[in-house]
């Protein structure tokens, strides 16, 4: 474990050193643009992305507990892909003298990815809910099932040991 951490630290420090070396080559006007770009990224995160993520996380609490993880993964996939696809979805960088720059229907591709992601979330949420028990609410099984024990901790004298019997759904 220490070797991998040392390797990651060395890789990180070399990337920081390379970035600082490249930054020194910039002129003052370019450094202002870099500072503005970095400040804009911090502002966009704090003013837009973080509150939106928090709001979606709080809204996800309305879902049953077994659906929380699939919904979170689906939102992370769609959110990150959408952020990365904003330039091509908006047609930024398209030029009439070079039609090969944005040469496909990116909106259709994003819609297909969104539909597949939503389908995967639904399947995963359904499977997790089914695995946690048909009558469960929030991932908890209802008390008093066939394998429950009385308050004293021992099973009734006529009960058999072994795996509990599952009722068909």
pLDDT digits (tens, 9 = 90+) for 138-161: 444 555 555 555 555 555 555 555
CA proximity to 169, closest of 129, 138, 139: 129
Q: Please, are residues 121 and 70 in contact by the beta-carbon 8 Å criterion?
A: yes
| pLDDT (mean) for 23-33 | 85
**What's the pLDDT score for residue 139?**
47
Which pLDDT does position 99 carry in this prediction?
82
Percent of the chain with pLDDT over 70: 79
Q: What is the pLDDT of residues 110-134, one digit of tens each?
A: 999 999 999 999 999 999 998 887 5
Q: Is 95 helix (H, G, I), strand (E, B) or coil?
A: strand
Nearest CA-CA partner of 80 in 102, 42, 51, 49: 49
User: Please, which pLDDT band fits residue 2 given cuts at 50, 70 and 90?
Assistant: very high
Assess whether pLDDT exceeds 70 at residue 162: no
């Amino acid at each position: 474990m220490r070797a991998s951490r040392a390797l990651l630290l060395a890789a990180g420090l070399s990337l920081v050193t390379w970035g600082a070396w490249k930054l020194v080559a910039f002129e003052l006007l370019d450094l202002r643009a870099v500072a503005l770009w970095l400040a804009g990224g911090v502002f966009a995160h704090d003013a837009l992305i973080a509150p939106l993520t928090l709001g979606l996380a709080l809204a996800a609490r309305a879902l049953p507990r077994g659906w929380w993880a699939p919904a979170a993964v689906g939102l992370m996939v769609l959110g990150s892909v959408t952020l990365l696809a904003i330039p091509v979805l908006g047609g930024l960088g398209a030029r009439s003298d070079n039609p090969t720059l944005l040469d496909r229907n990116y909106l259709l591709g994003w819609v297909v990815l969104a539909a597949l992601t939503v389908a995967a979330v639904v399947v995963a949420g359904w499977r997790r809910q089914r695995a946690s028990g048909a009558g469960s609410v929030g991932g908890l099984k209802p008390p008093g099932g066939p394998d429950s024990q009385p308050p004293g901790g021992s099973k009734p004298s006529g009960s058999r040991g072994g795996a509990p019997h599952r009722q068909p759904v």
